[in-house]
Structure 1
Amino acid sequence: MIKIRDVCKSFGSHEALKHINLDIVEGETLAIIGGSGSGKSTLLRLLIGLDRPTSGEIYIMGNPIAGMSEKRLDELRMNMGMVFQYSALFDSMTVGENVAFGLREHTDYPEEKIRAIVAEKLEQVGLPGIEASMPGELSGGMKKRVGLARAIAFNPKIIFYDEPSSGLDPIMTARIDELIIDTQKKQKATSVVVTHDMASACTIADRIAMIYEGELIAVETVENFQKLEDPRVQSFLQRMHVGREARK
């Protein structure tokens, strides 16, 4: 579904990503982990076409996107859904209008069909009947779920998540993890989750990829990842464990 071939990304003299090679197969959930500044968010921006690699190529569903025109990229993005770290809801719009935004912008569906899709997706994320609510009336976890409802409105083949558990308490984090798993099953989508939360990564992912100082240092199943003897991996796992214990 996604192929990354020898991708590098530099900002001036800073090499944010160094020769990344990775295949993401159809239907899997891949968690991309790493510390702050490791390059994982830069990679996500490249995958959704918000930025272009300095060198190398990225193929989405067989399409090379590095040199693709913005118009063609917009067409390809119709197959992608994006759940942003801070939900990125429009505060001046109702929940229903937020979920319907892309449908109204990019389709000629009649309003009746749009309203039906909005109701279906809100129910799918566990928020039925809140179309008339405003984002300011929602909790952080509810906003994340509305953001997911908007992302899946087109039934995308690929869903990208940017730090889905960021800013949430452990109980809501567990609910979001369950929702990601449930969404992947229902949508039959390929999911890419960028996170610093190792516990979430182990819960939701089929495989884990770790980026360290711009380099892809490990790609393994969850079980095998935790057994890796690489000191950089073990240090990250230990820091995550200490952090979780401190928050209890």
Structure 2
Amino acid sequence: MLIKLIDVNKSFKDYKVLKNINLSINKGETLAIIGASGSGKSTLLKLMIGLERPSSGQVWIKNEDIAKLNEEELDKVRLNMGMVFQYSALFDSMTVADNVAFGLREHSSLTEAEIGHIVEEKLNTVGLKDFANYMPNELSGGMKKRVSLARAIAFEPEIILYDEPTSGLDPVMAGKIDKLIKYTQEKMHVTSVVVTHDMDSAYYIADRIAMIYEGEIIALEDAHAIKTSSDKRVQEFINGGRII
């Protein structure tokens, strides 16, 4: 197991967001996490990268319980992880190339020539090799997502976390992002965790799908088993409430 959560609970003041989460994610697999808004999906993702700490329980990344690490130790673990944020989280004052290069400049001893080669390679991977000198405000939403992915893979991470990667995109661009997620997983053999509302995306990219309902994992199956689940809460979500 590359990622393992054991008896994880997370509360904000008196509100319990996650309840007794036990989850194992295998090396090289893509897990999609689905659920209604406010169910705890994004919080779960933030726990995996250490942006939030559990109120109780363990969050194992490889052989370390990151819930016990200080910020300096966490930063070392994060070098092996990439994250694609829902709203891309690009630096508006930097070019596309500088956004992709940012982590490499901050956390490596590579030369500018080496960094430039990596940036060019990653932008080519996401189909944006001709946009290195553009500013984020000159890009479409889908292009920003692709820049965010290029930045996430710049360090050749073992784990990539995606928070609503197709949110706000038209169906054609959403499909392109899905193909990039699959391509990245197959080419780099990364372990991917994808929070999404988009069931077409989840069915296409995921080896397994976990559904969170009111802070608890109520289903963890492959796509076929999710589609045919007898749980009414699962059926209501995947069918957009269109069940009788």
Does TM, scored on the shorter chain, surpass 0.5? yes
Equivalences for residues 72-91 of structure 1 within 5 A: 72-91=73-92
Aligned AA (1:170): P
Equivalences for residues 1-248 of structure 1 within 5 A: 1-239=2-240
CA root-mean-square deviation: 1.1
Q: How many residues align?
A: 242
Partner SS for 1:66: helix
Offset of residue 105 of structure 1: 0.3
Paired residues of 1:198 and 1:240 also in contact (CA < 8 A): no
Q: Deviations over 1:97-148 (max 9, x none)?
A: 0000000000110000000000000000111122111111111100000000
Aligned AA (1:239): G
Return the alpha-carbon distance in structure 2 between the equivalents of residues 94 and 111 of structure 1.
15
Offset of residue 241 of structure 1: 7.0
Paired residues of 2:36 and 2:197 also in contact (CA < 8 A): yes
Offset of residue 240 of structure 1: 6.9
Partner SS for 2:120: helix
* Structure 2 segments unaligned to the other structure (5+ residues): none
Q: Deviations over 1:218-239 (max 9, x none)?
A: 1001111111100100110121
Partner SS for 2:157: coil
Offset of residue 50 of structure 1: 0.5
Percent sequence identity is 62
Return the alpha-carbon distance in structure 2 between the equivalents of residues 90 and 14 of structure 1.
33
Partner SS for 1:129: helix
Paired residues of 2:236 and 2:242 also in contact (CA < 8 A): no
Partner SS for 1:31: strand
Paired residues of 1:197 and 1:240 also in contact (CA < 8 A): no
Partner SS for 1:75: helix
Return the alpha-carbon distance in structure 1 between the equivalents of residues 57 and 197 of structure 2.
26
Offset of residue 199 of structure 1: 1.1
Aligned AA (2:167): S
Aligned AA (2:164): E
Cα separation, partners in 2 of 1:128 and 1:240, compared to 1, 3 Å: farther
Aligned AA (2:69): M
Partner SS for 2:131: coil
Partner SS for 1:113: helix
Return the alpha-carbon distance in structure 2 between the equivalents of residues 44 and 210 of structure 1.
13
Aligned AA (1:10): S
Paired residues of 1:52 and 1:66 also in contact (CA < 8 A): yes
